[in-house]
Chains A and B, each alone.
Chain A
């Protein structure tokens, strides 16, 4: 269960947050949202695809960690194999909230930090302190705040990115058929990627438009990231081999 509350330095003064990775902290996810601003780091390790949010039908870019629900092949002891951990996971148990405030008589929406108080990461004994003993946010909290801001902007940018991809018919669904060393076959459906035929047929005008926004680079990083399916396969085969011993 989750319970989101507005973070404040009175009630939450003593709280700490465990930053290790692990299934017990909810890191056993198949994929997590990412965005073009983060593609450079993500594409080094994980395939990036698109996936529709079930409750809104909107497309998200996602970094993929496995082949099925709750399978994260990168979770290994508590170190995530030392790879880059995407921000939408690293921000746990915090999330961005909106608050309406009255400023000089006018209503304004500002973003605030929310905390999932029921998250197993929240502790009083161990982890990173949120506040300094004499008041004020800890360096860790500053980092969280920056992360949330980046995610907020990143997801907005991703929505604009997706809208352009859809406008130019650059997205297509695909089915990933894999065969493991033990001979078993699996099929992964429900993901979308760049339609390379449409991409190749784009006019220089549209290419220029994508380039000016930095999206051309994002598109090519997405395409290149597909090679990481191979490392997922390798990890899956290793896991199966270990389990078989």
Chain B
């Protein structure tokens, strides 16, 4: 029989590495919670004992619910051990005009999806009700601080769709403990001294400083921004995107709540600044806040001042005592994520910026994609690589365009940063074309040319109409469809009223989960 790719070495033990290890192992080595013997894949994760993980990236998409359930972690255990809370979307403040404007990009799709695109039927009412409020219950309920489910709702089930806010360090520890104790993943703590090639240019082994050689058929680079295998060793070219999305620096801080029982926000707060934006994420025991900005437009000192100002405005006390952590990144991605017998996952493959928190979602997608190819006959290696690289590039293109959309639609005039974002030379041509189309037609899934998308048409609708984009609908509305839309709008109003009475506040539910746990069914 032809040689199969079935031994894997993962380099790097952050969230990306452990999540990848757990997904691969759960897919191939476990049946109904029991480790198979022998296992189909041999998975080893090697990490340096003293390299700190970056530890931001504290927001997930709803896809993480399915991922965690699939790898066999109980939601109660996850929520309790990762300081996690429920995330129901992102709220954007001051992005449109810097005059206390706000809108929500919720995780729930508009009512009527997938059979009916309700968006055109909302347009006539845009003066009366915001798009997000009109088309789903989550907007009003999550902004009221209500949880997406009840204590009697089973683990990973929901009333309103949700992902999580979590402590990335604790999450990585939980995944490690689960992957090594339940999923049979081998854990090697060692520094990497050298990467050895075969004669064909594939990676043969990772040589550690203590003299071990870790052989594998496939190497997965989860080494973070260092991109040790894909970028450094295999020298795959890096495609910078700073000319489109300018942010390259961040100042991050963790701070306690003013009182132990303070409300926990159920959406990521994203507040625009003169030269960037501030994220604000509510975990169970603390907030994680950071200012991400363009170093070409703003000094670190200015950025720090603006962050401290934001913290004071948000009610934090003694902000001068808080220690800020500076992070720098080069927005962009590698030309390929799969080269030879090496796949990069996570920041090792690229990173643009934290807006819309797509980093972990892309890790989940990448790990699942690779997993679906395994075990792989050696002869198909380069075909699998080509296919993944194509999908990978489509994802980056979409991420870049979708993130850029947030900036292009802004009407802020206060600083060059915002003007520069609207310079047509900085806007990808495809996005420019789409924006022209959307002046006549609301976004539909036909606008998205590939399957397996990260952002569906609904996401574009939430952003466009949240930011006051004007579509002069050219097609007439059919009366029967208008009636259908009207019924859905009314149903949604009723749903908001019912759920407002039935859903507990975010913190109350998290406290109850600590006390009772969520029922498994």
Contacts and interface: CB of A to CB of B under 8 A. Distances in A.
B521 A57 contact: no
Given A55-B151, A57-B150, A57-B152, A172 B516 contact: no
A53 B150 CA distance: 11
Contacts of A222: none
A215 interface: no
A57 B151 contact: yes
B517 A57 contact: yes
A187 B239 CA distance: 59
A56 B151 contact: yes
B521 A192 contact: yes
A173 interface: yes
Interface in B15-63: none
B520 interface: yes
B520 A52 contact: no
A54 B521 contact: no
Contacts of A172: 521
B516 A166 contact: no
B519 A54 contact: no
Interface residues of B, number: 12
B512 interface: yes
B521 A58 contact: no
A161 to B, nearest CB: 15
B73 to A, nearest CB: 16
Contact of A54 (B152, B515, B517, B518): B152
Nearest to A58: B516
Contact of A166 (B153, B515, B520): B520
Nearest to B521: A171
Contact of B516 (A56, A171, A173, A192): A56
A166 B74 CA distance: 13
A171 B515 CA distance: 22
B16 to A, nearest CB: 32
A131 interface: no
Interface of B: 150-153, 512, 515-521
28 contacts: A52-B152, A52-B519, A53-B152, A54-B150, A54-B151, A54-B152, A55-B151, A56-B151, A56-B152, A56-B512, A56-B515, A56-B516, A57-B150, A57-B151, A57-B152, A57-B153, A57-B516, A57-B517, A57-B518, A57-B519, A58-B516, A58-B519, A59-B519, A166-B519, A166-B520, A166-B521, A171-B521, A172-B521
Interface of A: 52-59, 166, 171-173, 192
